[in-house]
A and B are shown apart, each in its own frame.
Chain A
Amino acid sequence: MAEPALSIRGLTKVYGNDFHALKGIDLNVPQGDFFALLGPNGAGKSTTLGIVCSLVNKTAGQVKVFGVDIDTNFSLAKYHLGVVPQEFNFNQFEKVYDIVLTQAGYYGMPMREARPRARQLLEDLGLWDKRDNVARMLSGGMKRRLMIARALIHRPKLLILDEPTAGVDIELRRSMWEYMRRINREEGTTIILTTHYLEEAENLCRNIAIINHGEIVKNTTMRELLAELDTETFILDVSGPVEALPDIEGLERVAHDDSQLQLSVKKGQRLNDVFKALNDAHVDVVSMRNRANRLEELFVNLVAEQNQAGEIRS
């Protein structure tokens, strides 16, 4: 079998202030994957990715990038990586084009090869018109895209994206998704993504790990994870106040609002029966939507469960 794009064993990080940010995590990202690393703020996502690309020193554990151990040949491991960090980390006073070209230089790419490649990337990401602007003058979303162009300049086999769509508007976010899907599909680039937009992860990613308090609480395929969801919650907008709630399992009023009902549907429960009962009770349903995106529902449950477990232990 091909080496995984990223393999992490027993990775531990204790920061200088004695804070245990990672408590021995294991992670495997197969080649060609589109992988989501999710977790609440402070869970340890950036720490994990930072260790992989050498922005953070690890305390213990093993990290391999395409089979190359970062302890034995970090230079080669880094050559395979493209990194889009969470925080802007370019010189704000440098020009967009120069930032991308300089990065090419650091990877040993000669200028005559780097120039057309940089142009292509900046065009693809809608930044070519801005190439002579200093980075400081870009909008937040443009800065994110600049970091993506910079990360891709040397054709990395593994692209690490730490919240690449934070602060990016919906339309642009969609076009970035399209772009990421394309390089994943057409160029076979393995992508690891962290995001707080769970809909984004659900849309893009095949495999997923959820991390909380420095521990992996879930690591599975997106499909299996979503299949675990045993109830889905819908919000029903109804016209006019509802006199008496029909006797349907999982149906309740949303406390503060008479024109909304909330319905938790168990797996296997048929919606037809539900609607028949609603109809018989003369409840007029105007519209219906998911209370949360499916992944969001799972995520919130998992994290809450682990937090509770943590409280009991401590």
Chain B
Amino acid sequence: MSMRQIWVAFFTIVTKEIRRFMRIWPQTLLPPSITMTMYFIIFGNLIGARVGEMDGVPYIDYIVPGLIMMSVITNSYSNVASSFFSNKFQRSVEEMVVSPMPDWVILLGFIVGGVARGLAVGAIVTGVSLFFTDVQVHHPFLTMLVVLMTAVLFSIGGFINSLLAKKFDDISIVPIFVLTPLTYLGGVFYSINTLPELWQNISMINPILYMVNTFRYGILGVSDIDAGGAIAAISMFIVVFYILALWLLKRGQGIRS
């Protein structure tokens, strides 16, 4: 295929993916807005008032970045996982497989779709948070970079999950048993400085901690980890996941017998 044709094919997947989550917005865009509003009211206002400060900032300001990241992570992941899996389930994935599109175009198309959903929900949650507090972004570039990279990484994760999944249940296992615990323990609601040293050290092997804290640093200017190292680590994860996803796709894992 020529570059132009590849571009058309890529654009086809991306618009199809974006249209999909826009069309079913009551399932994709609405729920996170409602859940996050609850979090803001309950943890931010009601409980937060008693907590006081966390790492030197009001509690509501502390959890806003964490909750935005949590939304981005779950939404990019589940967008790709469920969209690609339903393509497998309906067999319409074969439309892509028989076409001359290179595998990387398929993968990239779905990643961009997942990133779009992650960022759309991230933006909505940010919008909602403005009703509860007004947050100044200290490092806009770093903030955007880390949220983008996180969305990319979890979109790829969702893709791998959908390739390996055999039934619909298989695409909710990872979010429930891996993503949610890691996110909750990844410093969304508390600073790891509040933990005993042992648990601080254990927390340090949780990759989500680095994303959440770098993002929080971008917004609030406070953090318990080194932003540069975190960006490097996320980049490395992206490369590894991308190569793995592409390899599985080339093999036709879960697609070709």
Contact = CB atoms under 8 A, between A and B. Distances in A.
Interface of A: 15-16, 53-57, 74-76, 78-79, 81, 83, 85, 87-94, 99, 102-103, 105-110, 150
Given A55-B256, A75-B100, A91-B87, A108 B94 contact: no
A89 B4 contact: no
Given A54-B98, A88-B91, A103-B99, 12 more contacts: A55-B98, A56-B257, A57-B251, A81-B98, A90-B91, A90-B92, A91-B86, A91-B87, A105-B8, A107-B5, A108-B8, A150-B95
A102 B256 contact: no
A290 B8 CA distance: 54
Contact of A102 (B6, B16, B91, B251): B16
Which of A91, A93, A94, A99 has most chain B Cβ within 10 Å?
A91
Interface residues of B, number: 30
Those 10 A-B pairs whose CB atoms lie nearest each other, nearest first = A108-B5, A105-B12, A106-B99, A89-B91, A79-B100, A91-B92, A75-B100, A78-B100, A89-B94, A108-B8
Nearest to B92: A91
Nearest to B91: A89
A103 B9 contact: no
Given A15-B257, A54-B256, A56-B256, A107 B99 contact: yes
B101 interface: yes
Given A75-B102, A79-B1, A106 B257 contact: no
Given A54-B98, A85-B94, A90-B95, A110 B1 contact: no
Contacts of A103: 95, 99
B182 interface: no
Contacts of B6: 108
B90 A110 contact: no
B83 to A, nearest CB: 11
Interface string B11-23: 1110010000000
Given A54-B98, A78-B99, A109 B1 contact: no
B14 to A, nearest CB: 10
B97 A55 contact: yes
Which of B4, B95, B99 has most chain A Cβ within 10 Å?
B99
A75 B94 contact: no
A93 B95 CA distance: 15
A102 B100 contact: no
Given A75-B1, A108-B1, A108-B6, A89 B99 contact: no
A15 B4 CA distance: 37
Nearest to B89: A91
